[in-house]
């Protein structure tokens, strides 16, 4: 028998604990599902995404420093260009540090620079030959922290991939010049896979539940999104959409960022019921909660702002565009 003893937060607590106005579900999400969502969706969303990194900037400490698999940053310019770094929380202040990961730099004679690879991505020598690179006497750059275990791991991986070299290979740790710098320009890849998109969809569906109640959200109209969130069934592209316009009108009109808090709204688009969600007001995603609504149509339009600074949750007010007064900037 399912138990409903635990509370379910609409917005995972890893993105902030709010002292007033917080949105919480009671008696809707069973304890087993609550645990599943926390372990399988909320932890990756809060730790292994750019939004998880953004928590550091706002003083939302991550506890144990996470390992990032879905985000990868590389130094953009200078003699260290290409080195792979990982963002970590700085205990000295509420900002983000970049530290190098375990990696190998392989000199590319075609581009006259080092290409850097983590251990599991080191290419085979034969692959480099086919690409036209010189592999005889190739220059290697090992970056590690542990002189024993980590260096030996890199050496073993290189030998597995056909590299022959002596102990005279160049090795380096994080350069002092970077340690002294206040900032480093980096470029990164951000991966939004099914786990992360399901995490966003769960927030949106929780918001629908707290907004419209249990009976409405248990309708068969929402079987698809529920099955995607809980059981990982269905086509992600039918529910989750990226690169959406900002939620706030001034953000759209004046290309600004009115808040760094979280935003979520519900709205109809024809007979589709959608949510739009933006964590830290960075990028906006559209979550299609239902299509071709079969029940009695009811007016649904509303939203909330999770204010990071005041730690409060406040309703968003919808104003018709005709009432807007142009703000000179």
**Predicted local distance difference test score (pLDDT) of residue 77:** 82
Stated pTM of the model: 0.83
| Boundaries of domain holding 100 | 71-190
Strand order of the sheet with strand 96-100?
A: 96-100, 84-89, 71-75, 186-190
Among 153, 170, 190, the domain-final residue is: 190
Residues 209 and 317 in one domain: yes
**Cβ-based neighbours of 324, under 8 Å, separated by 6 or more:** 249
Residues 36 and 89 in one domain: no
Mean pLDDT value across residues 48-66: 80
Residues 201 and 267 in one domain: yes
pLDDT at 146 over 50: yes
**Predicted local distance difference test score (pLDDT) of residue 147:** 78
pLDDT tens digits for 110-135?
A: 999 999 999 999 999 999 999 999 88
Residues 166 and 212 in one domain: no
Instruction: Tell me the Ramachandran region of residue 311: left when phi exceeds 0, alpha when psi lies from -120 to 50, beta otherwise.
Output: left
pLDDT tens digits for 196-216?
A: 999 999 999 999 999 988 888
Kindly state the tokens that stand for 7.
Answer: 């509370």
CA 177 centroid distance within chain: 29
Nearest to 107 by CA among 130, 128, 124: 128
Mean pLDDT value across residues 19-33: 85
Among 157, 190, 223, the domain-final residue is: 190
- Tell me, yes or no, whether 255 lies in a domain: yes
């Amino acid at each position: 028998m399912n138990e409903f003893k635990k509370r379910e937060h609409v917005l995972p607590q890893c993105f902030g604990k709010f002292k007033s106005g917080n949105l919480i579900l009671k008696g809707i999400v069973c304890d087993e599902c609550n645990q599943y969502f926390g372990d399988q969706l909320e932890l990756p969303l809060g730790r292994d995404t750019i939004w998880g990194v953004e928590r550091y900037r706002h003083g939302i400490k991550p506890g144990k420093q996470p390992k990032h698999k879905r985000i990868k940053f590389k130094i953009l310019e200078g003699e260290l260009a290409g080195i792979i770094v990982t963002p970590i929380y700085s205990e000295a202040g509420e900002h983000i540090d970049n530290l190098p990961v375990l990696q190998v730099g392989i000199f590319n004679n075609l581009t006259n620079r080092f290409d850097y690879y983590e251990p599991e991505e080191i290419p085979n020598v034969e692959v480099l030959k086919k690409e036209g690179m010189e592999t005889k006497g190739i220059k290697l750059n090992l970056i590690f922290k542990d002189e024993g275990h980590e260096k030996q791991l890199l050496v073993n991986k290189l030998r597995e991939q056909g590299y022959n070299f002596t102990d005279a290979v160049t090795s380096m740790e994080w350069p002092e010049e970077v340690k002294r710098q206040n900032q480093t320009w980096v470029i990164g890849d951000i991966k939004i896979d099914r786990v992360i998109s399901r995490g966003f969809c769960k927030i949106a569906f929780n918001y629908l539940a707290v907004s419209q109640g249990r009976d409405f959200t248990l309708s068969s109209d929402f079987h698809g999104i529920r099955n995607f969130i809980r059981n990982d069934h269905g086509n992600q592209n039918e529910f989750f959409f990226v690169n959406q316009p900002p939620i706030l009108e001034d953000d759209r009109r004046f290309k600004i960022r009115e808040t760094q808090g979280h935003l979520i709204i519900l709205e109809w688009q024809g007979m589709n019921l959608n949510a739009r969600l933006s964590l830290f007001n960075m990028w906006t995603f559209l979550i299609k909660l239902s299509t071709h609504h079969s029940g009695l149509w009811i007016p649904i339009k509303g939203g909330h702002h999770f204010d990071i600074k005041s730690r409060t949750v406040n309703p968003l007010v919808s104003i018709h565009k005709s009432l807007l007064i142009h703000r000179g900037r």
